[in-house]
Structure 1
Amino acid sequence: MRGGCPVDASSIDDAWIGNMIRTRRQKLDLTLQEVSKEAGISVGYLSLIERDKATPTLTTLARIAAALGVGVDAFVGKPQPADCITRSGERPQFLLGSSGVRYERLGAVFPGAELSCFKLTIDQGYTSDTTGHIGEETIYVLSGRIDFTLDGQCMELGPGDSAHYDSHRSHGWSNPYVETAEVLWTGTIDLFGDRGAGSEQRPK
């Protein structure tokens, strides 16, 4: 126990697999009928599983996973509460060549995760590529200033300013100012392939 936080057993939620199956199915825009037919189970049984009213066998779960285009490991291995915590000074950090940006990974990896999260330390003079891709992103300026460009419009963002946008839109940023900028970036890009096949782009 850290910081005197009590353990509340009633807060431990075992309703995990069903929600992830439903989320994955809806993400793929598949109906209950389509998935149940592919998995060889009844629509009613799949509905019960998604609502955590029934627990599938591992074999049945494997068939459902295959129908959803993933492996069983996408739905098993529920993380413990402490797994979602990262500690200052212990998080992975990396530089990409001489780009002028240091990345500090804030997000955790667990089955069904949709988000990536980083703190970016952006040196003076850095300018990103202008890009567009699948997903959505949010940036929040912690300190310093950046010039944020969206669909060709350049906007200065300072401490406390944020932007939330569809990543398909042309976007990029730069730091033409004297001070180093720190930015919190959150997005749906699967940067490291932790969530299966996906884009390998880094935050821009």
Structure 2
Amino acid sequence: MDTGITQDELWIGGMIRARRQKLELTLQEVSEAAGISTGYLSLIERDKATPALTTLSRIAAALGVGIDAFVGKPQPADCITRADTRPQFLLGASKVRYERLGAVFPGSELSCFILTIEPGYSSEQTGHAGEETFYVLSGRLDFTLDGQVMELQAGDSAHYDSTRAHGWANPHDEVAQVLWTGTLDLFGDRAGGSEQRAE
């Protein structure tokens, strides 16, 4: 599928490695600070694995930066996002595309994205503070919650406590699109964002 995003924008792993090396930190030091295995961090740095946004935020915190250091911090001008100018980014080589829908204003607590998930994608299982809800716009998605796998299709939705272990996979032969909303402050836009990134 043509995502409309150039190959140069895919290699977040290289930016993570460059930042780690600049700080003269070992893989083990960063992985321990981020709460992931050294082998998994190595895969991420080589763009062989795609971290969940939660994991990417913990890696960024371990490297002393915000997630925006790797994906570019979107700056919505107001409460409206336009389909043809909406901020987008990709993680790793799996080509999961994120389109940011949310704006930032005093007291805001939600992050909101449209995710385009290509066939063959499988996320890690993760848990973090907060809550999430998502709605399947098109395609099918296998959603895992506390070890139970549930197949969702267009029109299905889920709402759950994010501390529960959860993850997604698209083992099907069609692209899936998901509207996701959660309380995790990925970009540190809101008050207390730095604390959330460090969880």
Normalising by structure 1, what TM-score?
A: 0.57
Count of residue pairs brought into register by the alignment: 120
Structure 2 vs 1, CA of residues 186 and 198 (structure 1 numbering), >3 Å: closer, same or farther? farther
1:108 aligns with 2:99: no
Quote the residue 2:196 is aligned against: 199
1:86 aligns with 2:81: yes
1:183 aligns with 2:178: yes
Runs of 4+ displaced beyond 3 Å: 198-201
Cα distance between partner residues in 2 of 1:88 and 1:109: 18
User: Conserved in 2, the CA contact under 8 Å of 1:147 and 1:173?
Assistant: yes
Q: Deviation per CA, 1:124-178, whole angstroms, max 9, x where unpaired?
A: 0000110111000001000000000001000000000000000000100100000
Q: Deviation per CA, 1:42-89, whole angstroms, max 9, x where unpaired?
A: xxxxxxxxxxxxxxxxxxxxxxxxxxxxxxxxxxxxxxxx82111111
Cα distance between partner residues in 2 of 1:94 and 1:111: 25
Match of 1:128, as an amino acid? S
Cα distance between partner residues in 2 of 1:185 and 1:84: 17
% same residue: 73
Shift of the alpha carbon at 1:96?
A: 1.1
Q: Deviation per CA, 1:11-34, whole angstroms, max 9, x where unpaired?
A: xxxxxxxxxxxxxxxxxxxxxxxx
1:137 aligns with 2:107: no
Cα distance between partner residues in 1 of 2:171 and 2:180: 19
Structure 2 vs 1, CA of residues 98 and 198 (structure 1 numbering), >3 Å: closer, same or farther? farther
User: Conserved in 2, the CA contact under 8 Å of 1:94 and 1:104?
Assistant: yes
Which of residues 155, 158, 161 is equivalent to 2:156?
161
Root mean square deviation of aligned Cα: 1.4
Quote the residue 2:115 is aligned against: 120
Shift of the alpha carbon at 1:99?
A: 2.9
Q: Which has the higher contact order (CA 8 A, sep 6+)?
A: 2
Cα distance between partner residues in 1 of 2:196 and 2:94: 20
Quote the residue 1:98 is aligned against: 93
